[in-house]
Chain A
Amino acid sequence: AQKITQTQPGMFVQEKEAVTLDCTYDTSDPSYGLFWYKQPSSGEMIFLIYQGSYDQQNATEGRYSLNFQKARKSANLVISASQLGDSAMYFCAMREGPPGGGNKLTFGTGTQLKVEL
């Protein structure tokens, strides 16, 4: 079974609208972390937001928020007020095990987001 599933290969959104990128995960470890990274066409990987499995509140970073539903094992990224510069590939990733252990990240297949005028 895939550890990270991103079911939307491509998404379109109008500028200034909000968009939700889906991510579901699979782990039996009670301690884990979920990350979202942005990869523009230039290729670099930019960290956006992090949610720990024991965090009580959903993470937010500026226009990014993470809709964490632990029982459903989902960690969807919400981008509010989309901008043209948000057009990129977005990857969801998971670290299994407690924080601080230097554990690897497992990535999903990504969602290509295109913001239109």
Chain B
Amino acid sequence: EPEVTQTPSHQVTQMGQEVILRCVPISNHLYFYWYRQILGQKVEFLVSFYNNEISEKSEIFDDQFSVERPDGSNFTLKIRSTKLEDSAMYFCASSEAPRGGETQYFGPGTRLLVL
């Protein structure tokens, strides 16, 4: 069964460093999303992406964040200068094209720890 994959599974970085989190969405899906979950808290929406551009972003998704679809399979989230409060689990998700199913399928997550 197709699934969303994410790399790395864990990342430890120093405050101020740049990190890139990678995702490979399900191959026939056209909508992509990033969410994050701070430890013990609920899942929060960051950004959605369709047709090579951002469709919606939350207040959390400030200038330090960017997303990219560098090729036909990968979808990345970059944090330019990490802060302590960026420590969280980051989930990538994808869903099908408009006439298909709308369920968002999540990847296993990348656990980011900023020291």
List the interface of chain A (C-beta within 8 A of B): 33, 35, 37, 42-47, 50, 91, 93, 95, 99-110
Contact with A along B50-75 (1 / 0, CB 8 A): 10000110100000000000000000
List B contacts of A93 (CB < 8 A). Answer: 43
Assembled-state Cα–Cα distance A93/B102 (Å): 13
List A contacts of B31 (CB < 8 A). Answer: 102
List A contacts of B58 (CB < 8 A). Answer: 104
B98 in contact with A101 (CB, 8 Å): yes
List the interface of chain B (C-beta within 8 A of A): 30-31, 33, 35, 41-45, 48, 50, 55-56, 58, 89, 91, 93, 95, 97-100, 102-109, 111
A104 in contact with B33 (CB, 8 Å): yes
Can you name 6 A-B pairs with beta carbons within 8 Å?
Answer: A35-B104, A44-B106, A47-B105, A103-B48, A105-B35, A109-B42
